[in-house]
A and B are shown apart, each in its own frame.
Chain A
Amino acid sequence: MDMLETGITRRGLMAGTGALVVSFSMGRALAREAAPQPAAPQPATPEPPALPGSLDDERFLDSWIRIDADNAVTVFTGKAELGQGVRTALLQVAAEELETDPKDIELVTADTGRTPNEGFTAGSQSMQNSGTAIRNAAAQVRAILLAEAGRRFGVPPESLKVENRTITAPDGRSVTYGELVSGQMLHVEAQPQSPLKDPGSFRHMGRPMQRVDIPGKVTGQPAYVHDLRLEGMLHARVVRPPSAAAQLSELDTTSIEAMPGVVSVVLDGNFLAVVAEKEFQAINAMRALSAASRWEEKETLPDQNDLPAALQNLEREVGTVAEAGNMPSFTGRIFAATFSRPYQIHGSIGPSCAVAHMKPDGTLDVWSHTQGVFPDRAAISEMLGMPPEKVRVIHMEGSGCYGHNGADDAAADAALIATKLPGRPVRVQWMREQEHSWEPYGPAMLVKVKASLDETGRIANWGYDLWSNTHSTRPGGAPALRGARHKAPPFPASPAKMQISPSGNGDRNANPLYTIANKRVLWHFLPDMPLRVSALRALGAYANVFAIESTMDELAILADADPVEFRLRHLEDPRARDVVQLAAEQFGWSNMPMPRNRGRGFGFARYKNLAAYMAVAVEAEVEPETGRVRIVRAVSAIDSGEVVNPDGIRNQTEGGILQTISWTLYEAVSFDRTRITSTDWSSYPILRFASIPDKVDVHIVGRPGQPFLGTAEAAQGPTAGAVANAVRNATGKRLYDLPLTRDRVRAAIAT
């Protein structure tokens, strides 16, 4: 029976069982198909006019740029350095339009007490949002200063030269920015248009710049929230339940309170923590407290061995992600398959950490590696019942982030403990097993694809069904914080809602960029989350592009076509074609047979269908005896729009490729019906040096004058597809379930 019909029948049956909503929205889906490029200002309501990037939310120039009388320049961003190098790129942008050197700018990053509110540093949007805002604000500040200098000198501003924060008139008179700025000169609303510099005259943007944070990091300077040591600071450790649904049933803290250095045992509902003078004392007390606590546990987790069925059973709603042409019907050459992705962790090498200080004036400071200081503040203040203005959240770097990990929870833990011990700063450091067990995971997903070719070898029909939770349970309120769920009374979980938007969530990149006459893409939404999940780098794009690109290769085989040529056959966007062709050319793509047990594979996507274009070709070697796969080399091409720091783009893309190789070959969270069982690096293995490629190349397609498109999440989907396709090419076997473990590869070869 036709898969789509089957799906509808099953949904029809399910409709009788509970809350099922089928929210078809043909008009919206079609409108999205034809959506123009991003960054176009929204149609103007009478007021206020749309401003570029995050300027639209923080409209005053001096929210972004301050110039002091001594000519010091301070730039403010609501985005945070997460190891992606955004601090350096934003400095380049500001320096370019302010006509100064990046080293002469102080950049203040996410801090509820000082910076604009730019929401989360997420979705590869920092350059689009903050980079665009800072660039435009800086250009407008420069124009204001030039106009003021022109007025003072009695010459037209166009005749002035500006260099290194000094403006010079044709007759040699000069004045610094600092001498020009007075009063409220920069406290003005930004204009929709800015006198941006021509890319041809760039001195900083578009050129590789060494990251400003690396020298400190390689010489042991304090660089992370983990390195924050405040006067009188106490060390805390939380004791988490053994499983998410566990309830504390018995606890005797007497012996723990008597342990050396222990200052306090914190008990608040199911929230349990110890505080000690020294770190190792806190760890010892944590272990003792853990041993002294008794918990009632429940079997709430799905059967890991039948995850696809478990996911399908959680379906309560279906939404249309995209539709085009006629309802797909399948005849002729058909490919149909089911793909899956397990729960996967962010797995920062440094477990989450935070410091909080409840001060005598009743205000609370929290230092956190959160991705969103403002949303985190809202959630923490709600949890504590404090007015938000009494809570300040200050971003400090953590270990790599890759999405919504334990950062916000650790900040909440520190805040909760600090309010019980006012006066002394409290540092909370999660342990490795806590990070593995309690961070929100990237959601497991299931994808069913069916596609058919027409007589000319083009894809005629495409049906795509995905099953997924939401990919974002970020703080918006206290329930998003683990501590708030554990304390008494607990904040009840917020119900998850399916939201279909152009940039996507679980459905991110579910709609292929390829031109297909008849298609339908559906998201079968799972509101219940038996395992806690949230944003992991690329959200649904990782699994969706893995499924789409695997299917593209199978269809190319059916069409007797080269995989690269087959993709180009279905790509109209010239920028998409450019990265595909460049990656193929630089890889030396051909149809020549590969040596035994070697294979080549290709992958492509435009992230979110509206951000960076990325294509990658990989060569894999497979050991048939063990099933071990190693990627020998990867060659990629990326178009992130206007380039600010080319080495930053390369670094992020290399990292994206390698991290995705790790996800794709090794990674799956394991659990029994009660507990998470991947609690460390031996029970959740990742890529090691022994298995890295020989070479990874990144070729950048520069687009001067075009909008920033972001970089950090462009590689995940295409790399997953390329790896799977290379394994297929090497072994002749298609693997449908991530990760492509040794056991699975060996089993596939044996069939």
Chain B
Amino acid sequence: MAISLKVNGEDKRIDADPATPLLYVLRDDLALNGAKYGCGLGQCGSCMVVVNGEAVLSCMTPVMLMEGREITTVEGLGTIEEPGPLQQAFIEMQAAQCGYCIPGMMMSAHALLRRNANPSDEDIRQALGTNLCRCGTHMRIMAAIRRAGELMQAAGLPAAGEGRTG
């Protein structure tokens, strides 16, 4: 079945079984690496993407529900040459060990920072409620998200990545 999606600001048309979880469409059909397979059960958050502003578990979301929606993955937050504020903050704080969970963390944070660029630690912990990290990078992830909020406020951005993608 042909499905139209908007991913990181670009219109995409893919042919897939409508029940396919969005995760596999992003990774295999669109060759995007950001969203990761972690559990396929909605328990770990490594597949997190942002859909119309909300953090969504792409491993649990059939692609047919995504028709016409605006999907943002970590690739939509900036590039390696020109990283966005969240990416800059994670690099600055060296907030990764293996890094596998990190894009999912960043997408949960992206959804939070769109609403509130000055979140409390409690806000951040809540926004990361689903996300698991096994390396124990939690303290740096917290610091990076606080830092991203600062960078966005300093840049006068109302929200992370706003203007790049939905």
| Contact A280 B17, beta carbon cutoff 8 Å | yes
Within 8 A of B (CB), among A262-308: 278-281, 283
| Contact B41 A215, beta carbon cutoff 8 Å | no
| Contact A220 B98, beta carbon cutoff 8 Å | no
Q: Does A17 contact B (CB under 8 A)?
A: no
Which among A85, A281, A400, A401 has the highest number of chain B CB atoms within 10 Å? A400
| Contact A214 B129, beta carbon cutoff 8 Å | no
B50-58, B112-120, B133-141 - interface stretch: B133-141
B43 contacts across to A, CB distance below 8 A: 432, 680-682
B94 contacts across to A, CB distance below 8 A: 210-211, 214, 647, 651
Q: Does A632 contact B (CB under 8 A)?
A: no
The smallest beta-carbon distance between A407 and chain B, in angstroms, is: 12
Q: Which of B31, B34, B40, B134 contacts A686 (CB 8 A)?
A: B134
Q: Does A71 contact B (CB under 8 A)?
A: no
When C-beta atoms are compared, the residue in chain A nearest to B131 turns out to be A689
| Contact A210 B97, beta carbon cutoff 8 Å | no
Interface size range on B against A: 35 or more
B73-81, B149-157, B158-166 - interface stretch: B73-81
The smallest beta-carbon distance between B132 and chain A, in angstroms, is: 6
When C-beta atoms are compared, the residue in chain B nearest to A348 turns out to be B134
When C-beta atoms are compared, the residue in chain B nearest to A430 turns out to be B37
Q: Does A83 contact B (CB under 8 A)?
A: yes
| Contact A214 B96, beta carbon cutoff 8 Å | yes
| Contact B38 A220, beta carbon cutoff 8 Å | no
Q: Does A690 contact B (CB under 8 A)?
A: yes
Q: Does A216 contact B (CB under 8 A)?
A: yes
A283 contacts across to B, CB distance below 8 A: 40
| Contact A219 B75, beta carbon cutoff 8 Å | yes
With A211-B96, A224-B100, A432-B41: A350-B136 Cβ-Cβ less than 8 Å: no
Which among B102, B126, B132 has the highest number of chain A CB atoms within 10 Å? B132
| Contact A226 B37, beta carbon cutoff 8 Å | yes
A399 contacts across to B, CB distance below 8 A: 36, 38, 98, 100-101, 134
Q: Which of B87, B126, B128 contacts A218 (CB 8 A)?
A: B87
Interface size range on A against B: 35 or more
Q: Give Cα A678 to B140, complex, Å.
A: 29
Within 8 A of B (CB), among A627-661: 647, 651-652, 654-659, 661
Q: Does A696 contact B (CB under 8 A)?
A: yes
A656 contacts across to B, CB distance below 8 A: 136
A682 contacts across to B, CB distance below 8 A: 43
Q: Give Cα A210 to B140, complex, Å.
A: 14
When C-beta atoms are compared, the residue in chain B nearest to A694 turns out to be B121
Q: Does B65 contact A (CB under 8 A)?
A: no
Q: Which of A83, A223, A351 contacts B135 (CB 8 A)?
A: A83
Q: Does A177 contact B (CB under 8 A)?
A: no
| Contact B99 A686, beta carbon cutoff 8 Å | no
For B20-46 the 0/1 string (1 means CB < 8 A from A) is 110010011001111011111101101
Q: Does A688 contact B (CB under 8 A)?
A: yes
Q: Does A260 contact B (CB under 8 A)?
A: yes
The smallest beta-carbon distance between A218 and chain B, in angstroms, is: 5
With A214-B90, A279-B24, A432-B41: A400-B135 Cβ-Cβ less than 8 Å: yes
Q: Give Cα A249 to B83, complex, Å.
A: 55
The smallest beta-carbon distance between B79 and chain A, in angstroms, is: 6
When C-beta atoms are compared, the residue in chain A nearest to B77 turns out to be A219
The smallest beta-carbon distance between A210 and chain B, in angstroms, is: 6
When C-beta atoms are compared, the residue in chain A nearest to B45 turns out to be A349
| Contact A655 B37, beta carbon cutoff 8 Å | no
| Contact B90 A218, beta carbon cutoff 8 Å | yes
| Contact A351 B37, beta carbon cutoff 8 Å | yes
B106 contacts across to A, CB distance below 8 A: 218
Q: Does B142 contact A (CB under 8 A)?
A: yes
When C-beta atoms are compared, the residue in chain A nearest to B31 turns out to be A229
With A218-B74, A223-B99: A432-B39 Cβ-Cβ less than 8 Å: yes
Which among B39, B102, B136, B139 has the highest number of chain A CB atoms within 10 Å? B136
For A677-714 the 0/1 string (1 means CB < 8 A from B) is 00011100011111011011000000000000000000
B140 contacts across to A, CB distance below 8 A: 651, 654
A652 contacts across to B, CB distance below 8 A: 97
Q: Does A106 contact B (CB under 8 A)?
A: no
B75 contacts across to A, CB distance below 8 A: 219-220
When C-beta atoms are compared, the residue in chain B nearest to A692 turns out to be B138
A260 contacts across to B, CB distance below 8 A: 17
Q: Which of A213, A348, A401 contacts B99 (CB 8 A)?
A: A213
Q: Give Cα A221 to B133, complex, Å.
A: 20
Q: Does A82 contact B (CB under 8 A)?
A: yes
Q: Give Cα A283 to B38, complex, Å.
A: 14
B21 contacts across to A, CB distance below 8 A: 280
Q: Give Cα A278 to B131, complex, Å.
A: 27
The smallest beta-carbon distance between B41 and chain A, in angstroms, is: 6
Q: Does B91 contact A (CB under 8 A)?
A: yes
Q: Which of B77, B97, B125 contacts A83 (CB 8 A)?
A: B97
B142 contacts across to A, CB distance below 8 A: 689, 692
When C-beta atoms are compared, the residue in chain A nearest to B40 turns out to be A432
| Contact B41 A220, beta carbon cutoff 8 Å | no
Q: Give Cα A283 to B126, complex, Å.
A: 32
Q: Give Cα A283 to B37, complex, Å.
A: 13
The smallest beta-carbon distance between A721 and chain B, in angstroms, is: 17
Q: Does A222 contact B (CB under 8 A)?
A: yes
| Contact A85 B128, beta carbon cutoff 8 Å | no
Q: Give Cα A201 to B99, complex, Å.
A: 33
| Contact B80 A696, beta carbon cutoff 8 Å | no
Q: Give Cα A220 to B132, complex, Å.
A: 19
Q: Give Cα A689 to B20, complex, Å.
A: 30
| Contact B137 A655, beta carbon cutoff 8 Å | yes
With A278-B28, A431-B40: A223-B33 Cβ-Cβ less than 8 Å: yes
| Contact B40 A693, beta carbon cutoff 8 Å | no
| Contact B87 A655, beta carbon cutoff 8 Å | no
B134 contacts across to A, CB distance below 8 A: 347-349, 399-400, 402, 659, 686
B19 contacts across to A, CB distance below 8 A: 280
A84 contacts across to B, CB distance below 8 A: 97
Inter-chain pairs besides A221-B80, A689-B142, 17 sampled, C-beta below 8 Å: A83-B99, A217-B99, A218-B74, A218-B90, A218-B99, A229-B28, A351-B37, A351-B38, A399-B36, A402-B134, A432-B38, A651-B94, A654-B139, A680-B41, A689-B129, A692-B138, A693-B139
18 CB contacts below 8 A, A to B, read A84-B97, A214-B96, A217-B103, A218-B83, A219-B79, A223-B33, A224-B33, A229-B31, A279-B27, A350-B36, A429-B37, A655-B135, A657-B136, A661-B136, A662-B136, A689-B124, A689-B131, A692-B139
B interface list, Cβ under 8 A from A: 16-17, 19-21, 24, 27-28, 31-34, 36-41, 43-44, 46, 73-75, 77-80, 83, 86-87, 90-91, 94, 96-103, 106, 124-126, 128-129, 131-140, 142
Q: Which 6 residue pairs of A and B lie closest in terms of their CB atoms, listed nearest first?
A: A83-B98, A658-B136, A655-B136, A400-B98, A217-B99, A220-B34
